Structure 1
């Protein structure tokens, strides 16, 4: 089980980092918050996985809680972005496309966070 957790947290961390980079590629530097949050969250996931590999029991709990907490944060941010999209639709604002891309990426991060959490619980 420990090896599965390490691999899962590593790929989850890489995924989060890539989501931050993808946001900047598609939206531009307006997405620097996504780059920072994806990078920090990804590095935290990889770091927790490394600490689990050194048999540090508190980090096993952190490895389960991190995806749950990130699911909550990403769900909140996704909802907030969706409401902003609803505000921008009537005016056909120039930021509408960027907000749509951000909504999709943040929502994907939330769904993957939930899947990672569930996979750790059932294993």
Structure 2
């Protein structure tokens, strides 16, 4: 999923205001699906996260670690989005309110999946 989202962030038409896509920072006016503020950095982070997920999906323990660790990263990004002024230079990723809510959902969902699944696989 992360690979798809990262790639879609580079597609005009799927990403509104594609001409306003910037390398990083709050000045990037591109909106994935017309809602989520994206930049080249933001898209590359999603692509990297997707590659890491594929690499760690081959066994239970690394997959669980990916889910728990990735969930923690997304919860930190959610906190970052709450703390940073979305219109300031400190908003380097960039994020908007829709991104913040998505990061919260991803953080909680990934963490829960990592903590609540795979225990039988650990015993085998």
TM-score bracket relative to the smaller structure: 0.5 to 0.7
CA distance change for structure 1 residues 35 and 110 in 2, over 3 Å: closer, same or farther? same
Match of 1:39? 47
Q: How far, CA to CA, are the matches of 1:40 and 1:74 in structure 2? A: 14
How many aligned positions are there? 92
Gaps of 5+ in 1: 1-13, 53-58
CA contact (8 A) 2:74 2:106 kept: yes
CA distance change for structure 1 residues 73 and 28 in 2, over 3 Å: closer, same or farther? closer
Offset at residue 83 of structure 1 (A): 1.5
CA distance change for structure 1 residues 110 and 33 in 2, over 3 Å: closer, same or farther? farther
Offset at residue 28 of structure 1 (A): 4.8
From the two aligned structures, give the one with the greater strand fraction.
2
Gaps of 5+ in 2: 10-14, 16-30, 88-94
TM-score for the superposition, normalised by structure 2: 0.56
CA distance change for structure 1 residues 34 and 72 in 2, over 3 Å: closer, same or farther? same
TM-score for the superposition, normalised by structure 1: 0.56
Offset at residue 47 of structure 1 (A): 2.6
Offset at residue 74 of structure 1 (A): 0.9
Q: How far, CA to CA, are the matches of 2:96 and 2:71 in structure 1? A: 19
Match of 2:101? 104
Offset at residue 73 of structure 1 (A): 1.0
Offset at residue 109 of structure 1 (A): 1.8
